[in-house]
Chains A and B, each alone.
Chain A
Amino acid sequence: GENVEQHPSTLSVQEGDSAVIKCTYSDSASNYFPWYKQELGKRPQLIIDIRSNVGEKKDQRIAVTLNKTAKHFSLHITETQPEDSAVYFCAASSRAAGNTGKLIFGQGTTLQVKP
Protein backbone atom coordinates (compact mmCIF):
# COMPACT_ATOMS: atom_id res chain seq x y z
CA GLY A 1 0.00 0.00 0.00
CA GLU A 2 0.94 3.64 -0.08
CA ASN A 3 3.52 4.71 2.44
CA VAL A 4 5.28 7.95 3.29
CA GLU A 5 8.45 7.91 5.39
CA GLN A 6 9.62 11.12 7.06
CA HIS A 7 12.98 11.94 8.65
CA PRO A 8 14.18 13.03 11.08
CA SER A 9 11.58 12.55 13.79
CA THR A 10 13.08 15.39 15.82
CA LEU A 11 15.27 18.29 14.75
CA SER A 12 16.84 20.97 16.90
CA VAL A 13 18.49 24.03 15.33
CA GLN A 14 19.77 27.40 16.46
CA GLU A 15 17.79 30.45 15.52
CA GLY A 16 18.95 31.68 12.12
CA ASP A 17 20.12 28.26 10.94
CA SER A 18 18.44 26.25 8.20
CA ALA A 19 16.29 23.17 8.74
CA VAL A 20 15.69 20.36 6.26
CA ILE A 21 13.06 17.64 6.55
CA LYS A 22 12.96 14.76 4.09
CA CYS A 23 10.21 12.42 2.94
CA THR A 24 10.06 9.44 0.63
CA TYR A 25 6.94 7.94 -0.87
CA SER A 26 6.21 4.53 -2.28
CA ASP A 27 3.43 5.12 -4.81
CA SER A 28 4.92 6.28 -8.11
CA ALA A 29 1.47 7.60 -9.11
CA SER A 30 1.59 10.23 -6.35
CA ASN A 31 1.24 13.69 -7.84
CA TYR A 32 0.52 16.10 -4.98
CA PHE A 33 2.78 16.74 -1.98
CA PRO A 34 1.64 19.15 0.74
CA TRP A 35 3.45 20.12 3.93
CA TYR A 36 1.51 20.90 7.10
CA LYS A 37 2.65 22.66 10.25
CA GLN A 38 1.03 21.81 13.56
CA GLU A 39 1.76 23.98 16.57
CA LEU A 40 1.25 22.51 20.03
CA GLY A 41 -2.44 21.93 20.69
CA LYS A 42 -3.46 23.40 17.36
CA ARG A 43 -4.74 22.12 14.04
CA PRO A 44 -2.47 21.17 11.12
CA GLN A 45 -2.19 24.02 8.62
CA LEU A 46 -0.87 23.91 5.08
CA ILE A 47 2.36 25.87 4.64
CA ILE A 48 3.39 24.89 1.13
CA ASP A 49 2.57 22.26 -1.48
CA ILE A 50 4.03 21.04 -4.74
CA ARG A 51 2.66 19.10 -7.68
CA SER A 52 4.48 16.46 -9.66
CA ASN A 53 4.97 18.68 -12.71
CA VAL A 54 7.19 21.05 -10.70
CA GLY A 55 10.63 20.36 -9.23
CA GLU A 56 10.85 23.21 -6.74
CA LYS A 57 8.63 25.80 -5.13
CA LYS A 58 9.53 28.63 -2.80
CA ASP A 59 7.55 30.91 -0.52
CA GLN A 60 9.65 33.40 1.43
CA ARG A 61 11.72 31.37 3.93
CA ILE A 62 10.29 27.98 3.02
CA ALA A 63 10.90 25.89 -0.05
CA VAL A 64 10.04 22.40 -1.19
CA THR A 65 11.93 20.26 -3.67
CA LEU A 66 10.67 17.17 -5.43
CA ASN A 67 12.67 14.37 -7.04
CA LYS A 68 10.15 12.13 -8.84
CA THR A 69 12.77 9.67 -10.01
CA ALA A 70 13.96 9.00 -6.47
CA LYS A 71 10.45 9.45 -5.06
CA HIS A 72 11.46 11.89 -2.40
CA PHE A 73 10.67 15.48 -1.48
CA SER A 74 12.08 17.84 1.08
CA LEU A 75 11.11 20.92 3.07
CA HIS A 76 13.71 23.61 3.55
CA ILE A 77 13.31 26.39 6.11
CA THR A 78 15.92 29.13 6.07
CA GLU A 79 16.69 31.73 8.75
CA THR A 80 14.68 29.79 11.31
CA GLN A 81 12.87 31.65 14.05
CA PRO A 82 11.50 30.42 17.41
CA GLU A 83 7.96 30.64 16.01
CA ASP A 84 8.93 27.97 13.45
CA SER A 85 8.99 25.47 16.34
CA ALA A 86 6.21 22.95 15.64
CA VAL A 87 5.53 19.50 14.25
CA TYR A 88 5.82 19.34 10.46
CA PHE A 89 4.06 16.70 8.39
CA CYS A 90 4.66 15.79 4.80
CA ALA A 91 1.96 14.03 2.82
CA ALA A 92 1.38 12.51 -0.58
CA SER A 93 -1.71 12.00 -2.67
CA SER A 94 -2.17 9.84 -5.71
CA ARG A 95 -4.51 9.85 -8.66
CA ALA A 96 -4.52 6.11 -8.27
CA ALA A 97 -6.48 6.70 -5.06
CA GLY A 98 -9.57 6.96 -7.25
CA ASN A 99 -9.82 10.74 -7.34
CA THR A 100 -10.54 10.90 -3.62
CA GLY A 101 -7.89 13.42 -2.58
CA LYS A 102 -6.69 10.89 -0.01
CA LEU A 103 -3.58 12.09 1.80
CA ILE A 104 -1.03 9.71 3.27
CA PHE A 105 0.92 11.50 5.97
CA GLY A 106 4.47 11.00 7.13
CA GLN A 107 5.18 10.37 10.79
CA GLY A 108 5.94 14.02 11.57
CA THR A 109 9.07 15.94 12.53
CA THR A 110 9.23 17.93 15.74
CA LEU A 111 11.31 21.03 14.99
CA GLN A 112 12.73 23.02 17.88
CA VAL A 113 14.35 26.36 17.15
CA LYS A 114 16.51 27.53 20.03
CA PRO A 115 16.81 31.29 20.55
Chain B
Amino acid sequence: DTAVSQTPKYLVTQMGNDKSIKCEQNLGHDTMYWYKQDSKKFLKIMFSYNNKELIINETVPNRFSPKSPDKAHLNLHINSLELGDSAVYFCASSLWDDIKGRYNREQFFGPGTRLTVL
Protein backbone atom coordinates (compact mmCIF):
# COMPACT_ATOMS: atom_id res chain seq x y z
CA ASP B 1 0.00 0.00 0.00
CA THR B 2 1.21 3.48 -0.83
CA ALA B 3 2.37 5.28 2.33
CA VAL B 4 1.84 8.85 1.08
CA SER B 5 -0.52 9.32 -1.84
CA GLN B 6 -1.49 12.36 -3.85
CA THR B 7 -4.23 13.07 -6.35
CA PRO B 8 -4.20 13.94 -9.12
CA LYS B 9 -0.82 12.89 -10.51
CA TYR B 10 -1.10 15.32 -13.41
CA LEU B 11 -3.08 18.55 -13.58
CA VAL B 12 -3.30 20.70 -16.70
CA THR B 13 -5.38 23.83 -16.46
CA GLN B 14 -5.83 27.34 -17.77
CA MET B 15 -4.63 30.54 -16.14
CA GLY B 16 -7.15 31.99 -13.73
CA ASN B 17 -8.70 28.67 -12.77
CA ASP B 18 -8.94 27.31 -9.22
CA LYS B 19 -7.66 23.80 -8.48
CA SER B 20 -7.03 21.49 -5.53
CA ILE B 21 -4.49 18.77 -4.81
CA LYS B 22 -5.16 16.14 -2.18
CA CYS B 23 -2.72 14.23 0.00
CA GLU B 24 -3.23 11.30 2.33
CA GLN B 25 -0.82 9.30 4.47
CA ASN B 26 -1.44 5.97 6.16
CA LEU B 27 1.77 5.93 8.23
CA GLY B 28 0.18 7.25 11.41
CA HIS B 29 2.27 10.41 11.16
CA ASP B 30 1.15 13.64 12.78
CA THR B 31 2.98 16.18 10.62
CA MET B 32 2.43 16.87 6.93
CA TYR B 33 4.11 19.21 4.47
CA TRP B 34 3.69 20.75 1.04
CA TYR B 35 6.76 21.36 -1.13
CA LYS B 36 7.10 22.99 -4.52
CA GLN B 37 9.74 21.71 -6.95
CA ASP B 38 10.37 24.07 -9.82
CA SER B 39 11.79 23.37 -13.26
CA LYS B 40 15.33 23.63 -11.88
CA LYS B 41 14.54 20.86 -9.39
CA PHE B 42 14.75 23.20 -6.41
CA LEU B 43 12.67 21.88 -3.48
CA LYS B 44 11.08 24.54 -1.31
CA ILE B 45 8.85 24.13 1.72
CA MET B 46 5.50 25.88 1.48
CA PHE B 47 3.39 24.76 4.43
CA SER B 48 3.35 22.29 7.29
CA TYR B 49 0.65 21.07 9.65
CA ASN B 50 1.11 19.25 12.95
CA ASN B 51 -2.03 17.66 14.37
CA LYS B 52 -4.15 19.88 12.11
CA GLU B 53 -2.35 23.02 13.29
CA LEU B 54 -0.46 25.18 10.79
CA ILE B 55 3.18 25.35 11.94
CA ILE B 56 5.05 26.43 8.83
CA ASN B 57 3.75 29.09 6.49
CA GLU B 58 6.47 30.27 4.16
CA THR B 59 6.29 33.35 1.95
CA VAL B 60 3.71 31.95 -0.40
CA PRO B 61 1.05 33.98 -2.26
CA ASN B 62 -2.25 33.92 -0.41
CA ARG B 63 -3.77 32.31 -3.50
CA PHE B 64 -2.41 29.10 -1.95
CA SER B 65 -4.46 27.80 0.95
CA PRO B 66 -3.71 24.53 2.74
CA LYS B 67 -6.32 22.64 4.70
CA SER B 68 -5.90 19.71 7.04
CA PRO B 69 -9.20 18.08 7.97
CA ASP B 70 -7.38 15.48 10.09
CA LYS B 71 -3.86 14.21 10.79
CA ALA B 72 -3.89 11.90 7.79
CA HIS B 73 -4.91 14.45 5.18
CA LEU B 74 -3.48 17.70 3.87
CA ASN B 75 -4.98 19.41 0.86
CA LEU B 76 -3.75 22.36 -1.17
CA HIS B 77 -6.13 24.73 -2.89
CA ILE B 78 -4.82 27.23 -5.42
CA ASN B 79 -6.91 30.16 -6.62
CA SER B 80 -6.43 32.19 -9.79
CA LEU B 81 -3.67 30.01 -11.16
CA GLU B 82 -0.73 31.73 -12.84
CA LEU B 83 1.89 30.51 -15.31
CA GLY B 84 4.53 30.63 -12.58
CA ASP B 85 2.59 28.12 -10.50
CA SER B 86 3.59 25.39 -12.95
CA ALA B 87 5.73 22.95 -10.97
CA VAL B 88 5.67 19.59 -9.26
CA TYR B 89 4.03 19.75 -5.84
CA PHE B 90 5.07 17.15 -3.28
CA CYS B 91 3.29 16.26 -0.11
CA ALA B 92 5.34 14.71 2.70
CA SER B 93 4.73 13.45 6.21
CA SER B 94 6.76 12.72 9.33
CA LEU B 95 6.32 11.78 12.97
CA TRP B 96 7.37 13.88 15.91
CA ASP B 97 8.76 11.94 18.82
CA ASP B 98 7.45 14.06 21.64
CA ILE B 99 8.82 11.79 24.35
CA LYS B 100 12.38 12.17 23.24
CA GLY B 101 11.84 15.57 21.68
CA ARG B 102 13.18 14.24 18.39
CA TYR B 103 11.19 16.38 16.02
CA ASN B 104 13.71 16.09 13.21
CA ARG B 105 12.64 12.84 11.62
CA GLU B 106 12.57 11.33 8.17
CA GLN B 107 10.04 12.89 5.85
CA PHE B 108 8.25 10.52 3.51
CA PHE B 109 7.30 12.07 0.21
CA GLY B 110 4.28 11.42 -1.97
CA PRO B 111 4.63 10.73 -5.71
CA GLY B 112 4.10 14.37 -6.63
CA THR B 113 1.51 16.26 -8.66
CA ARG B 114 2.74 17.84 -11.87
CA LEU B 115 0.78 21.06 -12.36
CA THR B 116 0.89 22.74 -15.77
CA VAL B 117 -0.77 26.12 -16.17
CA LEU B 118 -1.42 27.14 -19.77
State whether A107 and B42 are in contact (beta carbons under 8 Å apart), knowing that A100-B55, A101-B31, A101-B48 are contacts in the complex: yes
CB distance from A91 to the nearest CB of B (A): 8
Q: A45-B109, A100-B55, A101-B94 are in contact. Are A32 and B42 (CB under 8 A)?
A: no
| B111 and chain A: residue at smallest CB distance | A43
Residue B106 interfacial (CB < 8 Å): yes
Complex interface residues of chain B between 89 and 111 (CB less than 8 A to chain A): 90, 94, 96, 103-111
Q: How large is the interface on A (under 10, 10 to 19, 20 to 34, 35 or more residues)?
A: 20 to 34
Please measure, in the bound complex, the distance between the C-alpha atom of A73 and the C-alpha atom of B108, giving whole angstroms. Answer: 22
Q: Does B118 contact A (CB under 8 A)?
A: no
In the complex, number of A-B residue pairs with CB atoms less than 8 Å apart: 55
**A residues near B94, Cβ cutoff 8 Å:** 101
Interface size, B (range): 20 to 34
Tell yes or no: A105 within 8 A of B by CB.
yes
**Residues of chain B whose beta carbon lies under 8 Å from any beta carbon of chain A:** 31, 40-45, 48, 50, 55-56, 90, 94, 96, 103-112
What would be 23 A-B contacts, judged by CB atoms less than 8 Å apart?
A31-B104, A34-B107, A43-B90, A43-B109, A44-B43, A44-B109, A46-B106, A87-B41, A93-B104, A100-B50, A100-B55, A100-B103, A101-B48, A101-B103, A102-B45, A102-B56, A103-B45, A105-B42, A105-B44, A107-B42, A108-B41, A108-B42, A108-B43
